[in-house]
Amino acid sequence: MESSEDIALIGERQAAARRLLTAPIVTARTHPEDFAVIRAHSDWLIQRFHRILDYQLTVAADHARLAKTGLVRPVVRPLTRASGAHFSPRAYTYLALALAALVEAPPKLPVSRLAADVRAAATEAGLGLDPRDRMAERRTFAAALRHLAEWGVVAEREGALAEYARDGAREVWLEVDLELARRVVAHPPHSAPDPSAYVEGMEATDPSSDEAGEVALRRMLAETAVVYRADLSERQRERLAHHQWRAVAQLGELLGCDAEIRAEGIALVMPDETEEDRGAVFPSGDPVGQAALILLERLIARLRPEHTPVHAVPVPPDILRAELAAVVAPDAEPRRCWARTALPHIPDQDDLTARVLRLLRGAGLMSNPAPSAVGYDGWSLLAAAARYGGRRGRGPQRADQTPARDEAKEEGEATESVRGAGA
């Protein structure tokens, strides 16, 4: 029988592994407590990540970097700006150009010099980008630098990047972690005919050998909110059927998680920690998460299948439009909650709608065949969504009924009862 000290030690290691899985760059400057735990258990973490997921963990004196392989497209999580908007291709370009300039930068430099170096790197790459050109370019450049600051690559020593974004004449001195700047890109670009070929070479979701196939399955389970058997190739479905219990046990050893194994698929359930620690995309207590949860409950009440379980239930566009309108309307409870947060602005109805749909898609609860779908067409409820329906005292709603505004308020106040169940 394990002692309480052994249980505490295992729990500490697993919490560190979950932290690295959701935030692959942890530094002593940005997250000193997390980094201290990771460094204390570095040998265990390095060995387990390599054996179970074939990920390479590097723990240096002041930072830890988990370099992942495979699953490029299925688990991509876009970077976001301070407003919550996703990074544009231009913002990612500035991020890459800034890293290219920083790997040879001095330990301390002004942002004006970095902007000039980025302009030179862009010219060398044949790109017409200059962060000094106009305010929109400067703000995009500053957004990229703020992400590098969050990762610990740069630190503001004099001035603030937010001030520089508003006024290009404001100087900001940055301190650079050169070693971390070289490690941010986990897999430096190599020779490839074109960008798509490079990305294809990084993916290995259906390898031919059994050993590599099992590793790919474990990665998929660890990195994907819900793994549906219907989405797997025939070879991977067969492997999952034979090895699912072993895969879940190995991931439980590394991450301290439980699993739900059902006919439709498998989902890992992480311990109930803070959202930052567990990296859960759903449910969450922020207004977007609350709006998504209410929308899910309403759709389930209207579209629940009456007979055999199915992998996906199509959502008619008119029903999705009506339910979203009830949930994200200006006087709906999730919108009123937004006013009580410290976020810089309250998103408009279209913006909140897009965020809610992206959240449910990322959580494996809704799907759309279009990669960047933002409209009402083509959406389906997936099997895992059923766990968020059927609250007592709430019967199915007829498809021809128009949701009442007071119902939206009632549901917004009742979401606490299901918030603890992770996808």
pLDDT at 311 over 70: yes
- AA identity, residue 42: S
What values do phi and psi take at 25, rounded to 5? -120, 115
Tell me the pLDDT of the chain averaged across its residues. 81
Amino acid 137: pLDDT:
93
46-89 residue pLDDT tens: 999 999 999 999 999 999 999 988 765 666 677 888 777 788 89
Q: Which helix (H) or strand (E) holds 361?
A: helix 349-362
For residue 420, give the nearest of 238, 288, 283, 292 by alpha carbon. 283
Cis peptide bond prior to 283, omega within 30° of 0:
yes
Mean pLDDT, to the nearest integer, of 263-290?
A: 72
CATH fold, domain 89-183, is Arc Repressor Mutant, subunit A (1.10.10)
134-191 residue pLDDT tens: 899 999 999 999 999 999 999 999 999 999 998 888 899 999 999 999 888 877 766 6
Amino acid 392: pLDDT:
41
* Interatomic CA distance for residues 401 and 310, integer angstroms: 24
pLDDT at 6 over 80: yes
Q: How far apart, in Å, are the Cα atoms of 323 and each of 103, 351, 394, 405? A: 49, 16, 16, 10
Lowest mean pLDDT among 102-116, 137-151, 193-207, 368-382: 193-207
pLDDT at 19 over 70: yes
Matching residue, tokens 């790109």: 127
Mean pLDDT, to the nearest integer, of 322-332?
A: 80
Rg (CA), the chain: 23
Q: What is the dihedral of CA 157, 161, 162, 168, to 10 degrees?
A: 120
pLDDT at 347 over 80: no
pLDDT at 422 over 60: no
The answer, as to whether pTM is greater than 0.75, is yes
| Ranges of each domain in the chain | 4-67, 89-183, 210-273, 281-418
Helices 4-22 + 32-40 axis angle, to 10: 120
What values do phi and psi take at 234, rounded to 5? -60, -40
Compare 329 and 74 and report the one with higher pLDDT.
329
Residues with Cβ within 8 Å of 204's Cβ and at least 6 positions away in sequence, in order, are 69, 70, 212, 216
Amino acid 241: pLDDT:
92
* Interatomic CA distance for residues 90 and 122, integer angstroms: 12
Q: Which helix (H) or strand (E) holds 146?
A: helix 135-151
Residues comprising the chain, all counted: 423
Task: Return the beta strands (E) in 230-350 as ranges.
Answer: 258-261, 265-269, 312-314
The SS3 call for residue 305 is coil
Amino acid 331: pLDDT:
64
* Interatomic CA distance for residues 260 and 255, integer angstroms: 15
Mean pLDDT, to the nearest integer, of 287-310?
A: 79
For residue 403, give the nearest of 276, 301, 311, 250 by alpha carbon. 301
Q: How confident is the model at residue 286 (pLDDT cuts 50, 70, 90)?
A: confident
pLDDT at 406 over 50: no
Report H helices in 152-278.
161-166, 178-183, 195-202, 210-223, 234-255, 275-278
- Name 366's bridge partners: 381
Amino acid 79: pLDDT:
82
Amino acid 404: pLDDT:
37
* Interatomic CA distance for residues 104 and 95, integer angstroms: 15
Compare 205 and 251 and report the one with higher pLDDT.
251
Indicate left, alpha or beta for 279 from its phi (over 0: left) and psi (-120 to 50: alpha): left
pLDDT at 383 over 80: yes
What values do phi and psi take at 151, rounded to 5? -80, -10
Amino acid 274: pLDDT:
47
Amino acid 289: pLDDT:
85
Task: Retrieve residue 120's tokens.
Answer: 């030179």
pLDDT at 249 over 90: yes
- AA identity, residue 189: P
